[in-house]
Structure 1
């Protein structure tokens, strides 16, 4: 049996803006994983099994008389897409396809099955791609795994930046500049997969970062899962209607993230905290202008408590629930902060940053 794993992730800053071509965000990979195991079938019939996802519901809506099924929050859609893309790559290399059993095990959900917001769809896509590449003995490196997983993930989600895929592939702290997804969609129609994997992707840049030694990352979960794809859809409506205001947000976010990257390069917790607070204010203003609830009352409470202890806190990801993050001095009274969270029914997630053993600490430019 072959087993591969991919870590979950959290956004530190740059949410929403990063869905635009070339715009940056900072993410971190965490030591909770999705595992994918593959073994050849013994009876000629393959199966896909996951204990966590067996009761997964499918959402749909009406478009005129048509029933439109939304597969974006269904993990099996990402698994099937990862299989399709990776086996397409195997065929271009003249590898014979096989029948197999595929087992998925996820640590990225709560005991009750609720999503923590740790990027489970990206992690299950990456883990499936990695396991199949090993199963078929395909030549890959991190860049190629990212591109295969990004193609598979984007085929299902249709929006988003694919930064969560990058975090699951490269691990650690990363600065991610999103690539041109429209370009990818167009090239998929005309180019074979090997050619597409070998091309530079417009605007794509992934840089590994080293955090200051005194930076402690503390994560709180609100208990309320949120749908990233649906929240991004709502912000897209605001973008279409208020283009000038949206452009102001984009430009301010880009400058904020660049200053934060400089803070990582300088090893300055204070610089990073300043920009986390500023990024929070940008998201609050975006929420006010768009009417989309990004920072819920519980997330606001999480941030206010963290600020009392000197932490810089904000929502992580699309908001609307899920997690908040705190960048704080490791010498602060973290336990008292967590105790106050607990009193407000905010669950502390005791996670650590996960670094990949095979990732070198240098800038990876895919451009």
Structure 2
């Protein structure tokens, strides 16, 4: 029996803009995991089992008279996609295929099954890829795991930056810029998977960051789950109608995140906090342009309470629920902050940053 794990993630800054080329975001991996165990099957059938996902709901929409199932929130779709692409790579390495049982166990949901917004689909993809590569005894690197996972995830989701994949693979604090999706699609149609995995991907950048001493990450959960893929769909549909405003948002987000990265390199907590506040305002304006709710009332309450205790706070990820994050320092009264959160229906999450040995 082989067991591997992949951590969840939280976005710190740069959401939505990170979907585009040359627009960085900052993410952090947290110490909640998806674990995948794999073992050779004893019988004539293989098994894929998950305790958490066996009762998962299926979303669907109507296109004309046709019912269309949206499987992007169904973790089994990501598991199956990860198996498909990882086995395709293994076959190109002349590996003999065999039957196996795959067991998935996740910390990334609450006790009653609600998602925290920690990137469970990305983590389950990464863990599945890692498990299969190890099962077949192939030499692996983080770059190989990232690229295989990104291809697998994108083939299901159809949008997104793969920043959550990067956080699950590389761990810690990181700055991330996405790759050229059109280039990747074209390369996969003209070359073998192994060839594409060995190429440099245009635009892709992963930079590990060292947090300043005394900087603390505080996480609060709104107790309302959200669907990233559906929110991204809405903003993608609106882009062409708000072209100049969208371009301005991208430039402002890029400048904001670059200043935040500078704050990490200079160990300047105040600079990081200022850019967190600026990024919050950018996202609020972006939400207004797109007629979407990123900062729901409970997240606004989370942020306002954090600011009372001199913490710099904003939504994390696509918003419309899930988590908010606070960048705090030694002066921030975190205990009192969390008590006030609880009084207002906000659940503090005592997660820590998870670094991965290189």
Asked whether the two chains share a fold, i.e. TM above 0.5, the reply is yes
- List structure 1 runs of 4+ shifted beyond 6 angstroms: none
Residue of structure 2 equivalent to 1:233: 233
Q: Which residue of 2 aligns with 1:287?
A: 287
User: Contact conserved, 1:86 with 1:129, CA < 8 A, in 2?
Assistant: yes
Aligned to 1:206: 206
Contact 1:257 / 1:275 at 8 angstroms: preserved in 2?
Answer: yes
> What is the rounded CA distance, in whole Å, between the counterparts of 2:163 and 2:125 in structure 1?
13
CA contact (8 A) 2:242 2:289 kept: no
Q: Quick check: 115-124 or 66-75, which moved more?
A: 66-75
Partners of 2:247 and 2:181 in 1: CA distance: 19
Shift of 1:331: 4.1
- Secondary structure, in 3 states, of the residue corresponding to 2:55? coil
Task: Render the CA deviation track for 1:194-238: whole Å, top value 9, x for unaligned.
Answer: 100111101000000000111110000000000000001111122
**What is aligned with 2:154?**
154
Where do 1:1-367 residues align within 5 Å?
Answer: 1-358=1-358
Question: Where in structure 2 are there 5+ consecutive unaligned residues?
Answer: none
Residues of 1 paired with 2:12 and 2:107: CA distance?
Answer: 20
Q: Which moved more, 1:87-96 or 1:184-193?
A: 184-193
Structure-1 separation of matches of 2:67 and 2:185: 25
Q: Report SS of the residue matched to 1:54.
A: helix
**d(CA) in 2 for partners of 1:185 and 1:119?**
23
Cα distance in 2 between the residues matched to 1:237 and 1:143: 32
Following superposition, the deviation at residue 240 of structure 1 comes to: 1.9
Q: Deviations over 1:39-69 (max 9, x none)?
A: 0110020111111001001111111232211
Please give the per-residue CA displacement for 1:257-288, whole angstroms capped at 9, x wherever unaligned. 00000000001110100000000000001111
TM-score, normalised relative to structure 1: 0.97
Aligned length, in residue pairs: 358
Q: Which SS does the other structure have where 1:264 is aligned?
A: helix
Contact 1:22 1:180 in 2 (8 A): no
Which 5+ residue runs of structure 1 have no aligned equivalent? 359-367
8 Å CA contact 1:295–1:321 kept in 2: the answer is yes
Cα shift at 1:11 = 0.1
For the residues of structure 2 that align with 1:186 and 1:211, how far apart are their CA atoms?
Answer: 38
Q: Deviations over 1:301-351 (max 9, x none)?
A: 000000010100000000000000000013421010000000001000000
Q: Distance in 1 between matches of 2:237 and 2:311?
A: 33
Q: For 1:243 and 1:237, how far apart are their aligned partners in 2? A: 11
Counterpart Cα distance in 2 of 1:139 and 1:89: 12
Shift, 1:22, TM fit = 2.4
Q: What is the rounded CA distance, in whole Å, between the counterparts of 1:292 and 1:353 in structure 2?
A: 30
Distance in 2 between the 1:273 and 1:53 partners?
A: 37
Cα RMSD (Å) of the superposition?
0.7
